Amino acid sequence: MISCFSLSQKNKLYMHKIFFFGSLMLATAASAQQKIDFESYNPPSTLQVAKHPLTRAKFPFIDVHNHQNRMAAMDLNILTTEMDKLNMRIMVNLSGGSGNQLKDAINNGKQNKPGRFIVFANVDFKNVGEPGWGEKAATQLETDVKNGANGLKIFKSLGFSVKDISGNRVPVDDARLDAVWKKAGELKIPVLIHTADPKSFWDPLDSSNERWLELIINPNRKRDANNPVPFETLIAEQHNLFKKHRNTTFIAAHFGWYPNDLNKLSSILDALPNVVVEFGAVIAELGRQPKMAKAFFTKYQDRILFGKDSWVPAEYPTYFRVLETADEYFPYHKKYHAYWAMYGMELPDNILKKIYYKNALRIIPNLDKSGWPE
């Protein structure tokens, strides 16, 4: 009897094992069939919390980081209709160019939509190294400002691809450009400068890279220590430029590429009082650290400007929601920037007003200061 009993126990155990391995095989087969790639795995959240989606900003605002390449020939009615929906009172077009192109863009704005557009000039970096290049560029900037430019925008090509007449890379802090920064200081116009790119673009392209998807979609964005130089080199050049020209106001684009390290950005701002920042294309970094970001916005409330960069009206509401609401875990609009969800900072009105327009009114010259909320 005893042996019979133990036999049946053994049988039961055996049957269990077969069942267990059978289910495991089925599960493996199912997961193989349903393997979902990272790009398409995007489940809508099941979380039930209060939602306050926004379509327009609480206060009229100035977007200091926008690009309209063909502004001279544009029908600005279409643009201002879109701006009005967002409550954007002034758009700063950083792609003004120089000379006649710039003049035509400014005149189109002045004639057809006065007070709605600000245009920044750009420097033509061709022939750096020719004698007197810096003085010539500074004179051109002076002319462009006389023609109505309210600032200077420097693209990331400086540091990345701009070469001198000998074919060497021109560093961001190259002394041959000093006359330009000095002139901007004398003219009291800000220099909005984009240097480098997110640090992840220099990191190995593998499963530990937060910008893996962006680099897969845009392989030309991948960098390394020799393409053209390390991230840290470019950033050090930019900071050295800021240090050398204390009488010039610089707007470091994209939070100086430290939106994911606000302690580091704090130390930069503390050391360089002539520098302010804007958050174009990096709101996803702020929206994943609402407490830290709110403390940062509180401490540096006079040194942060509203910037967005690419002109996609449908993406602005994410910015408003991160800045204004206390919402939790809401989606961001571009997975290759962020596969994580957003949280709102719930900034108080007095700080919102500074970010949305007061700081820009102070830093960018010749703006009409009337008609804004107190």
Contacts with Zn ion by CB under 5 A: the residue count is: 1
Q: How far is the CB of 65 from Zn ion (least distance, A)?
A: 6
Cβ contacts of residue 214 below 8 Å, gap of 6+?
Answer: 221, 336, 337
Distance CA 30, CA 83 (A): 49
Q: What minimum distance in Å lies between the beta carbon of 33 and Zn ion?
A: 43
Question: HSE (CB half, 13 Å, CA atoms) of 26?
Answer: 6
Provide CB contacts within 8 A for 16, sequence distance 6+: none
Residue placing its CB nearer to Zn ion in the complex, 158 or 347: 158
Q: Which is nearer to Zn ion, 54 or 275 (CB)?
A: 275
Q: Is 278 a binder of Zn ion (CB under 5 A)?
A: no
Residue nearest to Zn ion (CB): 309
Least Cβ distance, residue 326 to Zn ion (angstroms): 30
Sheet holding 151-154, edge to edge: 61-66, 88-93, 117-122, 151-154, 191-193, 250-252, 275-278, 304-305
Between 195 and 325, name the residue whose CB sits nearer to Zn ion: 195
For Zn ion, the closer of residues 238 and 301 by Cβ is: 238
Contacts of 283 (CB under 8 A, 6+ apart): 318, 319, 322, 332, 342
- Least distance in Å: CB of 208 to Zn ion? 28
- Mapped onto helix, strand or coil, the DSSP state of residue 338 is coil
- Does position 197 interact with Zn ion (CB under 5 A)? The reply is no
Nearest 5°: phi and psi at 235? -65, -40
Q: Report in angstroms how near the CB of residue 260 gets to Zn ion at its nearest.
A: 19
Residue 133 or 279: the one with the smaller Cβ distance to Zn ion is 279
Residue whose CB is less far from Zn ion, 285 or 309: 309
Q: Please list every residue from 290 through 329 that binds Zn ion, using CB under 5 A.
A: 309
Is 165 in contact with 212 (CB distance < 8 Å)?
no
Q: Considering the complex, what minimum distance in angstroms separates the CB of residue 45 from Zn ion?
A: 31
Q: What's the rounded Cα separation, in Å, for the pair 113 and 34?
A: 54
Determine the length of the chain: 374
Instruction: Choose between 149 and 351: whose C-beta lies nearer to Zn ion.
Output: 149
d(CA 44, CA 342): 14
Neighbouring residues of 63: CB distance < 8 A, sequence distance ≥ 6: 88, 90, 91, 92, 306, 307, 308
Distances (CA, A) of 53 to 85, 287, 354: 15, 14, 22
Q: How far is the CB of 196 from Zn ion (least distance, A)?
A: 13
**x/- track of binding to Zn ion for residues 15-54 (CB under 5 A):** ----------------------------------------
CB of 66 to Zn ion, least distance (A): 8
Residue 13 CA to residue 259 CA, distance in Å, equals 57
Contact between 239 and 211 (Cβ < 8 Å): no
Q: For Zn ion, which is the closer residue by CB, 92 or 229?
A: 92
C-beta closer to Zn ion: residue 93 or 200: 93
CB of 156 to Zn ion, least distance (A): 8
Question: Cβ(85)–Cβ(55) under 8 Å?
Answer: yes
Binding footprint of Zn ion on the chain (CB under 5 A): 309
